[in-house]
Amino acid sequence: MADRRRLTILGSTGSVGASTLDVVARHPGKFEVAALTARHRAAALFDQCLKFRPEIAVVLDPDAAQDLRQRLRQAGAACEVRCGMEALEQVAGMPGVDTVMAAIVGIAGLRPTLAAARAGKNILLANKESLVTAGAVLMDAVRASGATLLPIDSEHNAIFQALPRGYAGNAGMAGVRRILLTASGGPFRATPLHQLEEVTPDQACAHPNWVMGRKISVDSATMMNKGLEVIEAHWLFNVRPDQIEVVIHPESVIHSLVEYIDGSMIAQLGNPDMRTPIAHALGFPERIAAGVEFLDLTRVRSLHFERPDRQRFPCLRLAYEALAAGGTAPAALNAANEVAVASFLSGGLGFRQIPALIEAALADHVRAPVTSLDDVLAADHSARASADRWLGAREPAGKGQALRQQAARS
């Protein structure tokens, strides 16, 4: 790595983006930040711009962009501020950038991630929704341009490390029998089912092992996050749904495993810290320091595993069903989940009603083939409308939508 790698970080103010910058700061001679982006957190982005001095900063919200522009001008920073989705796509594919960290949460990250793929970038993929909703479209773009996908989710990064170097998507030729995705089980793994009716957003966001944003924390509590990861693994590693198994592992020390036909099972272990997979992908094929605490097995002492309870975690079943249905079904699943989680976080929906809304939206969805980005966006729009109708049937007029819009802005 004689030359410094130039980075665009999509979603730099989120937990993955901040962890990426933490690793980058430890290696000033290896990396240069060309562009940083955020949805609306101008204050946090301002601090990052002063420290890392990108050429361009992008904010989706116009008011936040203007605020950032004024603050940077007053600070004497030579950083251009752009606004909007088109600007996100531009910095994802901008010349001179070789590596793009795709860390925007949700379907909002799809278009810039696809732009990076079409531009042939080295993509560090933390935005699982891009593959969940548009797996065929994104993978086609990667193959056509010669782009590279390196997974950042700890589970998929672990699988990537446990597969043979140069794995080309043929599990049979590589001797792979199955992939095991580990899951912590979230904060309610052992909570009596009747108590889940009273779960609050703060309780759902109190993950026992990982520090994450609120949306992904709720997804972890419902295990929808693991369901989305099943779909992501299908596209990343070209394995059948029946070759992907989810195992609850409360300690979150083993991040995932690959089982081979000779009976061997290879696992990747480490403390639960996102800087480890980020550093692996940033430095690949080299290894670079991540700043994490090293794993002491004598302190761990024991590891536990159990099968997920499908009654407790119906979202996992729904994800497998959407993957089996194919086409636009995973996009509809993701859209309904985003609506359900936003409503839950805003106080408009109970925790155990999240899977109920998703199942209703999927039942209402007319599955279609995915041949383009437009197919995905149409399915996303349709499923959100269906989810909103479901919510509207059980909420006072206008209240649910107002709450969800408020949650989206927070």
10-residue mean pLDDT profile of the chain (410 residues): values are 84 96 96 95 95 97 93 95 96 97 93 98 96 97 97 97 95 97 91 90 82 85 96 97 97 97 98 96 97 95 93 95 97 97 94 96 96 96 97 62 46
Domains identified in the chain and CATH numbers: 5-152 (3.40.50.720), 161-272 (no CATH), 326-409 (1.10.1740.10)
From 221, 231, 142, select the one nearest 181 (Cα to Cα): 231
* Rama region for 343: left / alpha / beta (φ>0; ψ in -120 to 50; rest): alpha
Cα dihedral 165, 241, 338, 274 sign: negative
**How far is it, in rounded angstroms, from Cα 311 to Cα 185?**
13
Q: What's the confidence (pLDDT) of residue 186?
A: 87
Going from the C-alpha of 271 to that of each of 110, 274, 277, 296, the distances in angstroms are 29, 9, 11, 9
109 within 8 A of 10, measured Cβ to Cβ: yes
Whether residue 280 contacts residue 208, with contact meaning beta carbons closer than 8 Å, is answered with no
Q: How many CB atoms lie within 10 A of CB 249?
A: 22
Query: Minimal CA–CA distance to 174: which of 159, 155, 158?
Result: 159
- The answer to whether 322 touches 331, Cβ cutoff 8 Å, is no
pLDDT of residue 395: 59
Give residue 216's pLDDT: 87
Predicted pLDDT at 210: 66
- Using CB atoms within 10 Å of the CB of residue 203, give its burial: 0 to 12 exposed, 13 to 18 middle, 19+ buried: middle
Short-list 338, 356, 345, CA closest to 393: 356
